[in-house]
Structure 1
Amino acid sequence: MNPSTPHHNVIIIGGGQAGLSMSWYLQQAGIDHLVLEKKSLMHSWRTQRWDTFCLVTPNWQCALPGYPYQGDDPHGFMVKDQIIEYLDGFARHVNAPVREGVSVQRVSSRAEGGYRVQTSSGEFTADQVVVASGGYHQPIVPRMAERLPESITQIHSEQYRNPQSLPAGAVLVVGSGQSGAQIAEDLHLAGRKVYLSTGDAPRCARFYRGKDVVDWLADMGYYEMPVEQHPLKEGVRDNTNHYVTGRDGGRDIDLRKFALEGMELFGRLEDFDGTQLRFAENLAANLEHGDSIYNGINASIDKYIAKQGIDAPAGSVYVPVWQPAAERAVLDPVAAGITSIVWCIGFTPDFSWVDLPVFNGRGYPGHVRGVTRQPGLYFLGLPWLHTWGSGRFSGVARDAQFLAGKIAASLLEAEKTDSDAVLSVA
């Protein structure tokens, strides 16, 4: 080891809620560590959310370590400024040993053990590394975007701020997952003409039988279910989030209702032929799929209420308020007055800088509850790392505490091995 190279027991990569949760537990255990953040703490929360963004889960689920929600509206939904205020308070609470503005360029193993972490500010070494940089790195924009007319402004959902920031005219929103549905609603409520290209995203009710669906699911133990017990197993990590909103106190998002109000819905966007956008004729199927998930979740709540003998308001089944008369397969964007496109089709992970053999064919790390096959390398903050809440404010603390225990045990074992080696020599 080069004596001039800074060394730490643990290096945490990423200064968001996951990285700081890890720091909190390592501090409680008295374990030396350093957090490396390429920009600033909680950067993505300040820069990748639109103006009317709010939580889609109730405030009581904000349970970062040592810093649960303490406001006066536990069943409400914090808006963007309140979320940032909460996270800034958490950052002050943790007071992590952090280097901001340091970009990690490569993580590799060292022949003598541990890891080499090469950064924009030089090299560090560590016995163990926790990758807490999330899984939403590269915005997805299809190659067809290159062929669209230059007169159409194109942005990704992470760049969207408000309707006023887009040129006057109609807007095409591509993708009906959580971000796409909420951005389409934001534009629709502002009086903009919206064309929405749907996918097979599921939806759920906001409130059902007297309380928030999240409250019911918590009572039912859904949020405690580990990934290996989920019917889809690890496949659930690829699922699109259910669309619903906490806006204005919380409500359903019903795309059929938007259609009644003038929003034009299409199936999946498949191509642009130089003049016309081409869509799959699967709008009806997409809407029916979303509604079937909606009704299925409510039916599971009905069964729970009946089994527990709970006194609750009567249940119901969603009945579609609108049906597409026909599927539209083509649309001339210029003739339709479309001046903007917002791509809401997600992100891909980019762990290319982690030069270690732990990834599958899609670039996703193989792990069990964040523990990889590479000794001393961990991941934290990924969707369904262990449970539904792993990538959220509600579950990341439990995952961080678990990994902190693994790290402490590993360091203790290493110390014991070193002591035994010294005694054997003596």
Structure 2
Amino acid sequence: MKATDVAVIGGGQAGLALSRCLTECSLDHVVFERGDIAGRWETRTWDSLRLLTPNWLNTLPGLPYDGEDPDGFMVCGDFAARLRGYAAASAAPVLTHTEVSSVGRTCGGFLLATSTGPWRARSVVIATGHCDVPFMPLMARRAALPPVHSSEYRSPDALPPGKVLVIGASASGVQIADELRRSGRAVILAVGRHMRLPRAWRGRDIHRWLQQTGMLSQPTSELVSLETALREPTPQLAGRPDRADVDLASLQARGVRLAGRVIDAEGDVVTFADDLASDVAKADAKQRRVLEQIDAWAGLPPGLPEPSMPRVDLSRPTPRRLSLKEEGIGAMIWATGYRRDFGWLKLPVQTPEGELAHREGATPVRGLYALGFRLLRKRDSHFIGGVGSDAEAIAGEISEFLRNQGRRAA
């Protein structure tokens, strides 16, 4: 049986960043990746997708951005190539096409069952990402049209003819709706809870403000309610080259028809909640609070004129029920996000809700850590540019754990 000091599960940006930090700590380790390095950046994204964060923010330990377009947004395929180059330059010990099917305890450490044979490790890090299993509600299977998850969408031309119903209005949903509409397709967007932020505010990218004010790096320990923060949807942002906003107001202005949250889909009939107005009002209020915090940090006087932002026209009728056939809908795209599945973890580290129990990345099982999860240690823990500092901290904790373990064994 093969053995290593540290087993890192996941070869994306989190796993590779940690590998770099473990190497700097002279710790023996192996990174297990079930596919190719950075493969999900290419296999679970649509053709035109770009990163939501500007290039200057997408740094990793030992890999600052030094290109010619710091304020641009990288195509996902280019970022995948950048990660593969990072792994090669770091000589990261990655085992590709090696899926970990279970992790359990064994004498002196952990036992990993993998598709290429068993491994023993003194410490394990789960770097699989905050959500890695596409989520599709049960009602999606009851609809007359075959369900297409946003991870399966590639381009407008790949869809059947007709109108498109997009379910979900977070980052993926609004971007897909925008691309479909710009291609000439008629689109209906079913909106649930969402978060709105402008691409730019007072002449700067919104992420520049979020970084400078310290909002991105805010420790989770300072949050009023971690549970509430974890339920927040991703902002309606897009990394378009023209830096245009992609939110409900801009989509409506381009001809996208808005509806409330989908509450049922049965055969030919889709039913919507009457909650569009309330969800829009909540998102606008949240955006206002964030922008007021930015202005206050910048020392701007109260009442300063604000850049004009379009608003959703709530006077327009929204459907409560519609027939897919009568409406001429040819495809339904479920931008309903991802979920977590820790069934392969044969360890007592899951909460009753199925979440991974941890405190700043350290689980209740000594030697088992997490990295790359949303709000792991701070607000940007799941960002490309936020995982590096977390990786450095986790690598330090692992180094101390292994030293103490060695002293106890001696």
What TM-score, normalized to structure 2?
0.95
1:302 Cα shift?
A: 1.7
Q: 1:120 maps to what in 2?
A: 115
Matches within 5 A, 1:60-71: 60-71=56-67
Asked if residue 336 in structure 1 is aligned to residue 327 in structure 2, the reply is: yes
Amino acid at match of 1:148: A
Quick one: distance in 2 between partners of 1:187 and 1:133?
Answer: 31
Query: Would you say the 8 A contact 1:10–1:32 is kept in 2?
Result: yes
Aligned mate of 2:355, from 355, 364, 388: 364
SS in 2 for 1:413: helix
SS in 1 for 2:111: strand
Quick one: distance in 1 between partners of 2:293 and 2:245?
Answer: 18
SS in 1 for 2:362: coil
1:95 Cα shift?
A: 1.7
SS in 2 for 1:388: coil
Quick one: distance in 2 between partners of 1:94 and 1:237?
Answer: 33
Q: How high is the sequence identity, in percent, across the aligned residues? A: 35
Q: 2:313 maps to what in 1?
A: 322
Q: 1:168 maps to what in 2?
A: 161
Q: 2:101 maps to what in 1?
A: 105
Aligned length: 409
SS in 2 for 1:57: coil
Aligned mate of 1:255, from 236, 248, 270: 248
SS in 1 for 2:216: helix
1:40 Cα shift?
A: 1.2
Q: Deviations over 1:217-243 (max 9, x none)?
A: 211111221112123324312221111
Alpha-carbon spacing, 1:275–1:153, altered in 2? closer, same or farther (3 Å): closer
Asked if residue 42 in structure 1 is aligned to residue 38 in structure 2, the reply is: yes
Q: Which has the larger radius of gyration?
A: 1
Q: 2:260 maps to what in 1?
A: 267
Matches within 5 A, 1:6-405: 6-110=2-106, 112-149=107-144, 152-306=145-299, 314-316=305-307, 318=309, 320=311, 322-405=313-396
Deviates more, 1:385-394 or 1:123-132: 385-394
SS in 2 for 1:339: strand
Q: 1:423 maps to what in 2?
A: none
1:317 Cα shift?
A: 6.1
Query: Would you say the 8 A contact 2:55–2:74 is kept in 1?
Result: yes
Query: Would you say the 8 A contact 2:39–2:80 is kept in 1?
Result: no
Deviates more, 1:209-218 or 1:180-189: 209-218
Q: Deviations over 1:38-97 (max 9, x none)?
A: 111111011111111111111111111101111111111112233223222212222211
Quick one: distance in 2 between partners of 1:47 and 1:418?
Answer: 44
Q: Deviations over 1:182-209 (max 9, x none)?
A: 1111111111110110011111011111
Quick one: distance in 2 between partners of 1:24 and 1:275?
Answer: 52
SS in 1 for 2:298: helix
Query: Would you say the 8 A contact 1:13–1:35 is kept in 2?
Result: yes
Amino acid at match of 2:224: P
SS in 2 for 1:122: coil
Unaligned runs of 5+ in 1: 420-426
Query: Would you say the 8 A contact 2:100–2:114 is kept in 1?
Result: yes
SS in 1 for 2:238: coil
Quick one: distance in 2 between partners of 1:132 and 1:42?
Answer: 12
Query: Would you say the 8 A contact 1:156–1:344 is kept in 2?
Result: yes
Query: Would you say the 8 A contact 2:104–2:110 is kept in 1?
Result: yes
Query: Would you say the 8 A contact 1:26–1:404 is kept in 2?
Result: yes
SS in 2 for 1:287: helix
SS in 2 for 1:74: coil
Quick one: distance in 2 between partners of 1:381 and 1:178?
Answer: 19
Query: Would you say the 8 A contact 1:302–1:315 is kept in 2?
Result: no
Unaligned runs of 5+ in 2: none
Q: Deviations over 1:227-273 (max 9, x none)?
A: 12123324312221111112123222231232233211100001124
